[in-house]
């Protein structure tokens, strides 16, 4: 399968595409929106490998060391519960199961959008654009994995 650098490159390409879609259909993104969107696209592009020892899993655990105590200390309950739900999933899943399923990559962050959007309605367009950045990056990962697998199968036949 492609390495994390290839997946990050695909995340960069999806960031450009979603940036243009967001600017055309939702709102004119600020520099901060674009930088956060870039981070989400890149994280999304390696997210499906969170279920195995990888750059994504290391990034996740390192961020947990900082995020969980800060969220608790600052009483950021929404963020804490979203992160706790993700941490629970990481602990119980096996490689190439749910995190490589398109329906999961679309629905899982969709629940976070609904949850966060309910409490922060004035930022709903921003939340939706961030959702698009993350999901596009994650779907690019799955698309690359599936296309490489098909190419390997084709070359083994000949």
- Per-residue pLDDT of the chain (158 residues), as tens digits, is 667 788 999 999 999 999 998 888 878 888 998 999 999 999 899 888 887 777 777 888 788 788 888 888 998 887 788 777 777 777 788 777 788 899 999 998 998 888 888 888 888 888 888 999 999 999 999 999 888 877 777 777 66
- The whole-number pLDDT of residue 1 equals 62
- The whole-number pLDDT of residue 133 equals 95
- The whole-number pLDDT of residue 86 equals 75
- The whole-number pLDDT of residue 158 equals 63
- The whole-number pLDDT of residue 22 equals 86
- The whole-number pLDDT of residue 143 equals 93
- The whole-number pLDDT of residue 151 equals 79
CA distance to 3, 5, 63, per residue, from 109 (Å): 24, 23, 18
Contact between 18 and 136 under an 8 Å Cβ cutoff? The reply is yes
- H helices, E strands: number in the chain: 6, 0
> Comparing C-alpha atoms, which of 92, 89, 88, 67 is closest to residue 78?
67
Contact between 94 and 51 under an 8 Å Cβ cutoff? The reply is yes
Task: Report d(CA 128, CA 132) in Å as an integer.
Answer: 6
- The whole-number pLDDT of residue 154 equals 74
């Amino acid at each position: 399968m492609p390495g994390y650098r290839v997946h990050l490159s695909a995340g960069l390409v999806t960031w450009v595409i979603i940036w243009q879609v967001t600017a055309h259909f939702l709102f004119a993104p600020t520099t901060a929106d674009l930088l956060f969107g870039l981070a989400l696209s890149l994280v999304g592009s390696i997210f499906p490998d969170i279920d195995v020892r990888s750059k994504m899993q290391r990034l996740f655990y390192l961020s947990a060391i900082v995020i969980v105590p800060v969220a608790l200390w600052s009483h950021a309950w929404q963020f804490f519960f979203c992160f706790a739900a993700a941490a629970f999933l990481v602990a119980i899943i096996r490689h190439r199961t749910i995190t490589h399923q398109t329906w999961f990559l679309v629905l899982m962050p969709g629940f976070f959008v609904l949850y966060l959007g309910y409490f922060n309605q004035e930022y709903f367009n921003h939340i939706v654009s961030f959702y698009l950045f993350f999901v596009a990056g994650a779907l690019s990962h799955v698309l690359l994995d599936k296309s490489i697998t098909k190419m390997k199968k084709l070359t083994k036949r000949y």
